[in-house]
Structure 1
């Protein structure tokens, strides 16, 4: 490590510190000369040397007398400066600062978390070597003429005309599946590229990135396109991030973390499938990439397009005019018709209560005879079918009929799923895996059998019922290896699969041209869930799945969506028949307003994990008592009693939570920011009683 330079001035540097370490802002360091804000430096922190970001030129307080209180003699000096890397721009620092404040995380944690891991580990010498290699690899791409563009529909032209008008509101592109939303994205991206700008296009899941990447690469041949997602190696991610930061990349395709990518000439943000819950981080800094994209667009004064066939109710509410009970904050662009004027699949509700009764103790078939005949007919016609079951594995649980034993996880309050392919019982929460026992562990009975059905078992049973059909399956189990998803999707597109069994992975974003029948075989489980968003998610899943059928105009006329259900008159299914999302949203918003739920209220969850459930709940009870006076002073804050989480034990850690509600978002934010210091001190006192960790989840997806 080289000697630190002579220190003459003080700067504020944010370093990666845990949320509850007490390091909320920047730490003071000395340096030989003032450094640009946003510059990356290497500084000592305790016994370690860590990477930090220069945040202030006058110390951690930024300015004023408070900065002068620190004795320079007690400060440590900056060890290295990562020269050659452009400072992180002011807009990036504002975005990080907002995200840290809104989602109640430390500034250092948020700032360093969103940088590539490899960047945080490089010293100045390593960085210099990497920079030389990067500069050699970077040559200016040749911009070529685009390929022949498809003819736009009238509704695509109307949407693009509105996008061309000046305005500062976000756009909600509400288009049915197959309406050509991606073409609107690409045309608007071309406008930004022609102006010398960069384009950030976000997708909810990694498995959608290669498909979009291929489409974008074909359209923008010669442009520099990079992807940013967790499937990349650390070296690939760093290289792509640097290309974006330097401004060499024209189009950036990424998942939720890409919203923090520094882009010196940003001109457009696109959030595809904006309703998808994958845009919400579920651990650590629990941020919403969709909401931050809207904030970033306003911050940098660029347009943002939120696209979906089934928008989130929050986005829909913001796109409703005030006269219709909304906020009018977004501009809604409607594209209800499919390209080629093809019809959406006809929805057929199959009432299982009218199916032939099973003998007592006999398990009902996975697919009703009527639906099975319809699938067989499609196979004979050379067409494809998609059977949706949003549960992977062979069966959710193994059961002993003699003593009642079930395959529970010893570390979680959940069942271990039976996977027949490798004969294992696997917990999908903590990952604990064991071989399937030869006999019941409790009574020795050798007749233990699966209960319920997953995609693995459904595929097996359909293969028995349709011996003439070629079956394929796509879920997280069969696509975990690199390239496996692309290989299986290629088989489907090539027509080598007659019946595709899959989870929600295949229900959105994929352009299957030969699928004419989609069937949801077990959708009822979400109808009566305690989560207030369950109906919204289920409607989105079913409508998105239906959109995989009939995308080719030649087969659209006889495409179908089958729904097997024991509750055929449920309002969700009746609304699905007509694909009337507006009516469904109106019903849901009415219920939300009556219950005081988002978007008519703002929520936060205070979550705690402990060695025992008692330890977790004792902390939450104490937390309520310690800040009740703050809630009373601010007004409008409701603190609900602590309860165990739906899955209360994971990996031998007990979990509990309490809900915090307010009709006004600013009031909730003020309460949370004032409560953090109280809860931090309280958590230190509760360590001895078994508290492990705690966190605040702002705008939670589930309660």
Structure 2
């Protein structure tokens, strides 16, 4: 493109064309978003006996088979995927889809597949421009590309002669699309693979309880990778009990919290020792921003979003109070909006504040922060991870996105600043998500020959999610968690349908939900007997989002067909008034109830 290379306006070319001095020709050029990363070459690794058994069993399986590949962190699940694809794509001439959570779709992940399959790989994810996505889609449609690696929507890629769909980190909630049309990419993958005579592989170190239950019942075939490749060992995990070294950092002065209140002595010494050896550390805090909220110490009032039932999070650079649901922004007030007092304090802790504390304590250290705020630009997270891989970062601090898909041999320390974030949310999956996050981030340590160490700071050392994550004991965690979902019943013991009512007027929304609850109970009594249970109606845990008041009704049943019939009949027949802009939405098999 001359106008780009020589930095002049396209109108100059047009005028030259009019004078007959140049001829302009257009040709179709495929946009390659990964051209800047150059060629990738790696030594082909030989599978271990356990990996080879898994590859052979999946490659020789009947059409439509579903496998749950349970491999501990560092067990080489990606190598299993690649060698399976060689059998399916190279030997049989078929095509394949590899789904990866958006948060884990790192350059490292893509590079490993590109190294194995070159330009036969197409990548689909949100960082691409519309043009780049179009080119990838077209190449798949034409058959120029045989494998697609992408986030959840890649499950719909236009591939023919499909041989396999691989769902990596199958437990990730981001595979469920929350907006209409709602779908769970894992479930779509299974249905599509069966319809097209392909196999489905669900891979995870911490499978969802639903998938584990399906494997135990024989619906899926369970394959295990119990050991790390190369004889590596899982890192040792230690707990730092924040109650025994308690510091009330939330009630400290406006200037912020003290480093020692955030990074306790054992974790601090571990960071110092790690840097002294020229090794790298990862620190997890699954809460972005600077402080969780601002509170008046005279009357207790907290700065809340005017459109949502949620507190505003303090961010720096620029200093703003931001709602993480509707993105409302406002400047912090010097006085309390309720009592006018000026005794305002920052409460809670976010990644921005921890970054400041680390930079102040270790001025010579190279600290990188990785969260939504630092990775919003195109390829932003690629640049951060490339710096880590090149050894240009001593401490990588971030939210849950640093817990997925990273493989850095020089990372020997993982520290969890606050393991309790999210553990007590009013959601039946809160403990499961906490266990998965702690297990996944622990797996980032010691992936090389040097071994690794994990330190978890918590006020709940006895919580089963923490105890079993420390012990690397997934099976015991699942057993305990399943027992807790018997009474009251929750998935995988039953299936759910969450009906959410929202409107601009609080009272009208509540009345609609109450009327719907009565309507549903009468319907179920006459048509479904005791096969479907109605729970609610009740206000949603977050009562208001984007100025809309929210109530919900939860339907439970161990008969999926009956649950489908009742929920479908309700959505088709229940009359929703047009006043107050009422909306009713149905979320089948919800991944969260907030």
Aligned position for 1:463: 359
Which of 552, 575, 593 is 2:486 aligned to? 593
Larger displacement relative to structure 2 (467-476 or 396-405):
396-405
Aligned with 1:475 (options 371, 378, 387): 371
Aligned to 1:330: 220
Q: Please state whether the residue corresponding to 1:333 is helix, strand or coil.
A: strand
Matching residue of 2:561? 666
Asked if 1:201 corresponds to 2:98, the answer is yes
Match of 1:610 among 503, 507, 513: 503
**TM-score, length of structure 2 as denominator length:** 0.88
Residue 114 of structure 2 is aligned to residue 213 of structure 1: no
1:36-63 deviation per Cα after TM superposition (whole angstroms, max 9, x unaligned): xxxxxxxxxxxxxxxxxxxxxxxxxxxx
Equivalent-residue separation in structure 2 for 1:291 and 1:444 (angstroms): 53
| In 1: Cα distance, 2:366 partner to 2:282 partner | 12
SS in 2 for 1:524: coil
**CA distance, structure 1, for counterparts of residue 326 and residue 215 of structure 2:** 40
| 1:506 counterpart residue number | 402
Alpha-carbon distance in 1 for matches of 2:460, 2:360:
28
Of 112, 136, 139, the match for 1:243: 139
Shift of 1:387: 1.0
Residue 60 of structure 2 corresponds to 165
Paired residues for 1:554-633 under 5 Å: 555-556=450-451, 559-632=452-525, 633=527
Q: Matched residue of 2:550: which SS?
A: strand
* Deviation sequence 1:28-84 (CA, Å, 0-9, x none): xxxxxxxxxxxxxxxxxxxxxxxxxxxxxxxxxxxxxxxxxxxxxxxxxxxxxxxxx
Aligned to 2:486, the other structure's residue is in SS state: helix
- Maintained 8 Å contact 2:426/2:541: no
Which one of the candidate residues 640, 647, 653 is aligned to 2:542? 647
Cα distance change of structure 1 residues 434 and 294 upon mapping to structure 2, 3 Å threshold: same
Q: Kindly state the Cα deviation for residue 255 of structure 1 after the two structures are TM-superposed.
A: 0.8
| Corresponding residue of 2:238 | 348
| Alignment partner, residue 116 of structure 1 | none
Higher RCO (CA-CA < 8 Å; seq separation 6+): 2
- Secondary structure of 2:166's partner? strand
Change over 3 Å in CA distance of 1:357–1:609 after alignment to 2: closer
Deviations 1:140-164 (A, max 9, x none): xxxx999641121121112112113
Distance 2:482 2:250 in 1: 42
Aligned pairs (5 A) from 1:340-489? 340-355=230-245, 361-362=251-252, 365-489=261-385
2:16 alignment partner in structure 1: none
Question: Equivalent residue for 1:552?
Answer: 448
The gaps in structure 1 that reach 5 residues or longer are 1-131, 139-143, 321-326
SS in 2 for 1:382: coil
Once residues 388 and 97 of structure 2 are traced to their aligned partners in structure 1, the CA distance between those partners, rounded to angstroms, is 29
Aligned Cα root-mean-square deviation (Å): 2.3
The answer to whether the Cα contact below 8 Å between 2:319 and 2:332 also exists between their aligned partners in 1 is yes
Tell me by how many angstroms 1:511 deviates: 1.0
CA 1:191–1:458 in structure 2 vs 1: closer, same or farther (change >3 Å)? Answer: same
User: Residue in 2 aligned with 1:107?
Assistant: none
In structure 2, the gaps of 5 or more residues are 1-25, 32-38
TM-fit CA distance, 1:347:
0.7
Structure 1 133/197 Cα, relative in aligned 2: closer, same or farther at 3 Å?
A: farther
Distance 1:590 1:414 in 2: 32
Matches within 5 A, 1:673-692: 673-679=568-574, 682-683=575-576, 686-688=577-579, 690-692=580-582
SS at 1:641's partner residue? strand
Q: Which digits, 9 at most, give the CA deviation of each residue in 1:581-600, with x for residues without a partner?
A: 01111111122233321111
CA contact (8 A) 1:203 1:209 kept: no
Is 1:209–1:254's contact at 8 Å kept on the other side of the alignment? no
What's the CA shift string for 1:284-328, capped at 9, x where partnerless? 1221101110111111111111110000000011111xxxxxx21
Q: Distance in 1 between matches of 2:103 and 2:366?
A: 27
Name the SS for the 1:576 alignment partner.
helix
Cα distance 1:596–1:361, how it changes in 2: closer, same or farther (>3 A)?
closer
C-alpha distance in 2 between matches for 1:563 and 1:469: 22
